[in-house]
Amino acid sequence: METFEVFRRSGHKSPFEHCGAVIAGDPEMALLVAKECFLRRREGDHLWVTRRSDIHSFEDESLLEIAADKSYRFAHAYRDVVKKRERARERAGKAGAQ
Amino acid sequence: MSDSLVALVTALADDELVLGHRHSEWTGFAPQIEEDVAFSSIAQDEIGHAAALYGLVASITGDDPDRLGLGRDQNQYRHAVLCERPNRDWAYTLARHWLYDHADAVRLAALTDTADERLGALVNKMRREERYHLIHADTWMQRISQGPMDGRTRLMEAVTETVPEALDLFEPIEAEDDALKQGWLPAPSDVLRARFVDETSGALEDLALPAEVRSHLQATEFVASSSGDLIDEGPSESKSSDDKSSSGGRSGNHTSDFGRLWSDLTHTYRAHPGASW
């Protein structure tokens, strides 16, 4: 027996999302029981199962931490751009008039 | 006129109710939690089909669907004895589930051509769920028949033992001649039984179960298909070849196993007449 992770799609335009896991002997059996465990109440229209052992991840989670200042990757770091641009236009206008 | 339609639909409904009740006895006890949920769900489907079929009977006779399901005496039920047998172990439950759902598939396929539109519509709805039941049963059968010796042996014994009672699912219903004449039932029971035998012996061969498991089926195949041929010459002759089974569950003759099931199934209905939920 193996653990299978179950992914469910709530509508045909939605992405598959993880919704739980089942224990089963093989993928076909996992799908059969997952249907009754996770699609009992019209929660979606499609299911995937995949062996948990087929999912790859990071052994060292600390690699995923953001250590230094990465504020430049966020929109809030650019809030003053509009003002800066206005000032730049002003300066450019004055230079043209001279 | 519609009596034979009522008899036909009642037999179908009683099979689904009684087997659904047996299936539901696994709730909390199935081999795995996932299977517990899946099998309980199948039980709910079967009982749902029974409720819909009783609804159809009620609309014809003016009766109450709850009374049909829960308010009749034991000898008024028309299910096959197979459905009332206790669950015993998972091997027996699986063998019965597999044989029953294949038999059900055969008769529902035939009933898509019924002359009664309401029954036809209901059958089409039921078949959508029965497709899953069939895949579920087939998948389990494949796994156990290809698995370790212990499970394989227990499954073979269970199938061998269950086959004779499974064949009685095709015991003629009451007033079958009229049901055939009116077109409610598009094919006689023994023709359906021959189809069932043909299909399941092929499936057992595919599962590579030893020949002796199929021997019961194949022994009957000869009788069933020859009586199926007789049907064309006259229905009276086919009846006489069915003497043994014409006294079974379809005529209201049940075993003490049903007595216990019935008292459990109908307990609340009898204790609180007219209650609703």
Of B108, B111, B13, B127, the closest CA to residue B59 belongs to B13
Best residue of A36, A41, A47 to probe chain B, by most B CBs closer than 10 Å: A36
pLDDT value of residue B254: 96
First-to-last C-alpha distance (Å) of chain A: 82
pLDDT value of residue B265: 96
Measure the CA–CA gap between B137 and B99, rounded to whole angstroms: 9
Q: Average of pLDDT values for B67-71?
A: 96
Q: Out of B17-31, B60-74, B119-133, B194-208, which region has the weakest mean confidence (pLDDT)?
A: B194-208
- Statement: residue A82 has pLDDT above 70: yes
Q: Average of pLDDT values for B233-256?
A: 62
Please name the amino acid found at residue A12: H
Nearest to B135 among A23, A32, A34 (CB): A32
Q: Average of pLDDT values for B221-225?
A: 47
Residue given tokens 């089942």 in the structure block: A22
Best residue of B35, B138, B142 to probe chain A, by most A CBs closer than 10 Å: B35
- Give tens-digit pLDDT for A15-38: 999 999 999 999 999 999 999 999
Residue of B nearest to A37 (CA): B37
- Cβ <8 Å between A22 and B38: no
- Statement: residue B246 has pLDDT above 60: no
- Cβ <8 Å between A37 and B135: no
- Give tens-digit pLDDT for B13-35: 999 999 999 999 999 999 899 99
Q: Out of A67-76, B51-60, B178-187, which region has the weakest mean confidence (pLDDT)?
A: A67-76
Measure the CA–CA gap between B209 and B191, rounded to whole angstroms: 25
Q: Is A23 helix (H, G, I), strand (E, B) or coil?
A: strand
- Return the bridge partners of A17, or none: A8
Please name the amino acid found at residue B263: S
- Cβ <8 Å between B143 and A25: yes
Best residue of B37, B39, B136, B145 to probe chain A, by most A CBs closer than 10 Å: B37
pLDDT value of residue B19: 98
pLDDT value of residue B42: 96
Of A16-20, A82-86, B150-154, the range with the highest mean pLDDT is A16-20
With 0-12 / 13-18 / 19 or more C-beta atoms within 10 angstroms meaning exposed / middle / buried, residue B267 is exposed
- Give tens-digit pLDDT for B172-219: 999 999 999 999 999 999 999 999 999 999 999 888 776 677 777 766
Phi, psi at residue A24, to the nearest 5°? Answer: -155, 170
Helices B3-24, B33-61: crossing angle, 10 deg rounding: 160
Q: Is B262 helix (H, G, I), strand (E, B) or coil?
A: helix
Query: Å from B260 to nearest chain A CA?
Result: 30
Is the model's pTM score more than 0.90?
no
- Cβ <8 Å between B143 and A22: no
- Give tens-digit pLDDT for A51-66: 999 999 999 999 999 8
B72: its two tokens: 């009749």
Q: Average of pLDDT values for B91-106?
A: 97
- Statement: residue B230 has pLDDT above 80: no
Q: How far is CA B3 from CA B179, B185, B263, in A?
A: 9, 13, 28
Per-residue pLDDT band for B233 (boundaries 50, 70, 90) equals: very low
- Return the bridge partners of A2, or none: A24
The interface residues of chain B toward chain A in range 28-47, judged by CB-CB distance below 8 A, are 32-35, 37-38, 41
Tell me the average pLDDT of chain B.
Answer: 89
Up-side HSE of residue B174: CA atoms within 13 Å toward CB? Answer: 22
- Statement: residue B36 has pLDDT above 90: yes
Measure the CA–CA gap between B43 and B70, rounded to whole angstroms: 17
Nearest to B139 among A28, A34, A37 (CB): A28
pLDDT value of residue B1: 59
Provide the edge-to-edge strand list for the sheet that holds A16-24: A16-24, A2-9, A46-51
> What residues in A contact B129, CB-CB < 8 Å?
none
For residue A33, the tally of other CB atoms under 10 A from its CB is: 26
Query: Å from B143 to nearest chain A CA?
Result: 9
